[in-house]
Structure 1
Amino acid sequence: MTEILLPLLSATLINNLVLHWPLGVDPLLAAEGRNQVHALGLATACLMLIVGTLGYLIEQWLLVPAELTSLRLFVWLPLSVLLVRPLLRLLARTFPSLPFDGLWPMLVGNAGILGVTLLNSRDGSGLGQAIAGSLGAGLGFWLVLSLFDDLRQRVLGNNIPQPFRGLPIQLISAGLMAVAFLGLRGLVKT
């Protein structure tokens, strides 16, 4: 049980893809509005889980036996791009109250989705840990996206000097959030 729970917590809180590894920062800065944040978080979490799991299975069952591991990126990139449209349609039917329209460019350009599969292949762990790591990365992305949107709403109401308005204060806020998540480093000992 701890073999699954520890990678899940580690990927969600400690080795967060957005804050620890700077992957997936573009959608973080682009998403605005409570509903769009949750739609993007849900879609990204599902896509990371699916692509991370399928990427691990394709690598272990196809690429490693055929000794074609150098083609990993050429297999994983089309896999992630081809799954975006069907996933968004399925999620739009399942959750009609969330706006999944217009999320396609943010999901295709999210480097975190490809980063999950690369981290899963680098670890050399089993399928359960790959699934837990992919799910944890998706949930961690959703958590950071929600927290960052709340922080952005609080900053909008404050009197900020002119040079820091917009993107500079957002980047400073993301840096401070990364430092706060860095405090969770000693939470899980492996």
Structure 2
Amino acid sequence: MTEIVLTLFSAALINNLVLHWPLGVDPLLAANGRRQVHALGLATACLMLIVGTLGYLLDHGVLVPTNLTFLRLLVWLSLSILLIGPLLRLLARWLPAMPFDGLWPLLLGNAGILGVTLLNSQDDRGLGHAVALSLGAGLGFWLVLSLFDDLRQRTFNNAIPLPFRGLPIQLISAGLMAVAFLGLRGLVKT
């Protein structure tokens, strides 16, 4: 149980997919507005959890026993694409006040979702670890997305030199956030 909690904590804060590995940076830079940020964070966390868990089950239940591991990427990508539409419709029905309608391209281009399934297949520590890693990665993405949106709002109203406005200051801010999250590495010794 302790290992699963440490995996969840580590995936969310220490080994964050956006800051530690630059997976899912495109949706981070494209999301605008507080409501869209939270809608994208929730949809990405749910999609990472579902695709990470189902990808692990398909990998260890079908692909590895039949020696078809060369089809992993095709199966995981197809699974991710097929689940985006139903997930967005379900979330829109469940939370009608959140703007889930324009998130299809942001979820489709999120490499963090495939990164979670790849990490789950490489670690092979069991289903509980795969679920904890997927959920932690999704919650970590949502946390970084929220923090980055708040940082973007703060830099928008400040006097920033012209060459640094827009994407350059966003990339510098993402780098500084990565360094700040790097400071959490010493908390968990494995």
Does 2:132 match 1:132? yes
Does 2:55 match 1:55? yes
Aligned to 1:6: 6
Matched residues in 2 for 1:101 and 1:171: separation? Answer: 27
Q: One-letter code of the match for 1:126?
A: G
Aligned to 1:169: 169
- The count of corresponding residues between Structure 1 and Structure 2 is 190
Task: For residue 86 of structure 1, report the CA deviation from its aligned partner.
Answer: 0.2
Matched residues in 1 for 2:189 and 2:96: separation? Answer: 41
Does 2:106 match 1:121? no
Q: One-letter code of the match for 1:45?
A: A
Task: For residue 112 of structure 1, report the CA deviation from its aligned partner.
Answer: 0.3
Give the 5 Å matches for 1:8-27: 8-27=8-27
Task: For residue 187 of structure 1, report the CA deviation from its aligned partner.
Answer: 1.0
Aligned to 2:101: 101
Task: For residue 189 of structure 1, report the CA deviation from its aligned partner.
Answer: 1.2
Matched residues in 2 for 1:148 and 1:69: separation? Answer: 37
Q: Secondary structure at the match of 1:185?
A: helix
Task: For residue 126 of structure 1, report the CA deviation from its aligned partner.
Answer: 0.4
Give the share of equivalent positions with the same residue, in percent.
81
Matched residues in 2 for 1:166 and 1:59: separation? Answer: 41
Residue-by-residue CA offset, 1:40-71 (whole Å, 9 max, x unaligned) = 00000000000000000000000010011111
Q: Secondary structure at the match of 1:177?
A: helix
Does 2:108 match 1:111? no
TM-score scaled by length of structure 2: 0.99
Task: For residue 188 of structure 1, report the CA deviation from its aligned partner.
Answer: 1.1
Structure 2 residue runs without a partner (length 5+): none
Matched residues in 2 for 1:58 and 1:171: separation? Answer: 36
Give the 5 Å matches for 1:138-157: 138-157=138-157
Which deviates further from its counterpart, 117-126 or 137-146?
A: 117-126
Matched residues in 1 for 2:159 and 2:148: separation? Answer: 18
Residue-by-residue CA offset, 1:143-178 (whole Å, 9 max, x unaligned) = 000000000000011100000000000000000000
Task: For residue 124 of structure 1, report the CA deviation from its aligned partner.
Answer: 1.4
Does 2:15 match 1:30? no
Matched residues in 2 for 1:6 and 1:67: separation? Answer: 32
Aligned to 1:64: 64
Q: Secondary structure at the match of 1:50?
A: helix
Q: Secondary structure at the match of 1:186?
A: helix
Matched residues in 2 for 1:158 and 1:171: separation? Answer: 16
